[in-house]
């Protein structure tokens, strides 16, 4: 099995320069190879199989950086290029990488110990020993396969270390089930737990963030003051993202430790974010703030590590319309404004979201059986 660990790096000035060169070369070779492939296809109608080695004679400065970083850039391009040609409806056309996004990264491979850890330092090809914060050790008897070095828009450096280890996870027979119903403002409503009550980090920081972005828009492009303001805005966004990640990981860990199987609806968050109300996009910010897709991905792999499973219910399953006591289907609840209702058959009073979560739990139980 594979597992990734992420650590904060503290490079020296010389190492930052080498990282910047590698980021730039990896981006350049990706753009150059993509441009040549597109031009070749326009002229001949055929695919071009080019490699980074073909460009080193014309651009000798490519030899200064790790060759595996360029090779991995080629692999990323091949994947994007082939996905586009094999499934154009699902994958978009590969685009050129911009150096103005602020986020840079490159990957390299471990070959005969070229990447290794020693205390609070990591050895990287062409860079040497770089200091890092080893806040948790790697798994015992694991082998380092690849590492990815990245720089955030705030100027922080991180390393993601992918290790391979032997582990046989036996699937368990689920006994404890939980149903989660997506909630626009609270992340989820659980069948047997308290609601998530997502704190809406983006909404709380919205006024301060808008003020900082207005200042940024008034700064002259290329000026030192604009760079300082851009850094302030980037720190705002980074803090919001870190708060969101921390909240989602803790909630996922809490649920995974207590239940054998968790059921969720296989909804399209992208389509929900584009839902029109009164001629305007009203749900986009709320849907994007709570990070539902991120939360379900975290749930899925944390459950898989323990031999448990995440069960996705069909999005057309009428979880909000069914009475979880007698099974009566109430079509009036198709109206989203109906938050509570009484079952005409058995007279039970239902909270819309809680009732849906219980129905999702029972449907997950039925599917697993």
Alpha carbons 97 and 106: distance in angstroms, whole number: 13
pLDDT above 80 for 119: yes
Residue 282 banded pLDDT, cuts 50, 70, 90 = low
Residue 274 banded pLDDT, cuts 50, 70, 90 = low
217's enclosing H/E stretch is: helix 206-218
pLDDT above 80 for 182: yes
Residue 300 banded pLDDT, cuts 50, 70, 90 = very high
Alpha carbons 187 and 286: distance in angstroms, whole number: 10
Q: Catalytic residue at 43? A: no
Structure tokens at 314: 């069909």
- Considering the entire predicted model, what is its pTM? 0.87
Distances (CA, A) of 323 to 147, 320, 340, 362, 363: 51, 8, 12, 12, 13
Residue 59 makes CB contacts below 8 A (sequence gap 6+) with 28
Residues 346-362, mean pLDDT to the nearest whole number: 92
Q: Catalytic residue at 118? A: no
pLDDT above 70 for 98: yes
Helix and strand numbers, DSSP H then E, in the chain: 9, 15
* pLDDT tens figures, 207-231: 999 999 999 999 999 899 999 999 9
Residue 283 banded pLDDT, cuts 50, 70, 90 = low
Tokens 């695919």 — which residue?
Answer: 47
Contact 189, 354 (CB under 8 A): yes
SS3 for 186? coil
Sign (positive or negative) of CA dihedral 127, 129, 131, 137: positive
Residues 5-32, mean pLDDT to the nearest whole number: 96
pLDDT above 60 for 275: no
Any idea how long the chain is?
A: 369
Per annotation, catalytic residue among 66, 260, 300, 353: 353
What backbone phi and psi angles, to 5 degrees, belong to 112? 55, 45
Contact 110, 118 (CB under 8 A): no
* pLDDT tens figures, 155-164: 999 999 999 9
Residues of the chain with pLDDT > 90: what percent?
Answer: 68
* pLDDT tens figures, 58-69: 999 999 999 999
Per annotation, catalytic residue among 66, 260, 265, 289: 265
Residue 149 banded pLDDT, cuts 50, 70, 90 = very high
What backbone phi and psi angles, to 5 degrees, belong to 354? -65, -40
| Amino acid 347: pLDDT | 87
pLDDT above 90 for 234: yes
* pLDDT tens figures, 235-269: 999 999 999 999 999 999 999 999 999 999 988 77
* Domains of the chain, residue spans: 2-164, 177-368
Residue 204 makes CB contacts below 8 A (sequence gap 6+) with none
Q: Catalytic residue at 181? A: yes
SS3 for 86? helix
Per annotation, catalytic residue among 181, 260, 300, 363: 181
| Amino acid 302: pLDDT | 95
* pLDDT tens figures, 324-352: 999 889 888 888 888 888 998 888 899 99
Residues of the chain with pLDDT > 70: what percent?
Answer: 97
């Amino acid at each position: 099995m594979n597992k990734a660990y992420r650590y904060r790096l503290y490079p020296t000035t010389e190492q930052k320069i080498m990282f910047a060169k590698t980021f730039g070369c990896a981006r350049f070779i990706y753009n150059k190879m993509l441009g040549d492939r597109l031009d070749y296809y326009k002229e001949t109608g055929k695919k071009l199989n080019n490699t980074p080695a073909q460009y080193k004679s014309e651009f000798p400065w490519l030899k200064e950086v790790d060759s595996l970083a360029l090779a991995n850039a080629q692999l990323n391009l091949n994947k994007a290029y082939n996905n586009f040609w094999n499934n154009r409806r699902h994958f978009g056309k590969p685009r050129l990488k911009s150096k103005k996004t602020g986020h840079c990264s490159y990957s390299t491979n471990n070959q005969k110990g070229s990447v290794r850890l020693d205390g609070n330092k990591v050895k990287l090809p062409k860079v040497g020993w770089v200091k890092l914060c080893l806040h948790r050790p790697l798994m015992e008897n694991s082998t380092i396969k690849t590492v990815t070095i990245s720089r955030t828009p705030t100027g922080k450096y991180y390393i993601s270390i992918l290790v391979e280890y032997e582990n046989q996870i036996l699937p368990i027979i689920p006994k404890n089930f939980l149903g989660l119903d997506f909630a626009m403002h609270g992340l989820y409503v659980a069948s047997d737990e308290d609601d998530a009550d997502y704190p809406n980090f983006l909404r709380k920081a919205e006024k301060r963030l808008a003020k900082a972005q207005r200042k940024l828009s008034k700064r002259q492009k290329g000026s030192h003051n604009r760079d300082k303001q851009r850094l302030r805005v980037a720190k705002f966004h980074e803090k919001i993202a870190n708060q969101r990640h921390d909240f989602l990981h803790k909630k996922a860990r809490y649920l995974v430790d207590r239940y054998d199987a968790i059921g969720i609806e296989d909804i399209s968050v992208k389509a929900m974010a584009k839902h029109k109300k009164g001629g305007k996009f009203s749900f986009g910010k709320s849907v994007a703030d709570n990070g539902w897709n991120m939360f379900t991905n975290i749930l899925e792999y944390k459950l898989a590590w323990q031999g448990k499973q995440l069960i996705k219910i069909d999005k057309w399953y009428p979880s909000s319309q069914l009475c979880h006591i007698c099974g009566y289907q109430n079509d009036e609840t198709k109206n989203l404004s109906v938050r509570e209702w009484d079952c005409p058959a058995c007279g039970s009073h239902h909270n819309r979201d809680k009732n849906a979560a219980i129905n999702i739990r029972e449907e997950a139980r039925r599917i697993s059986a």
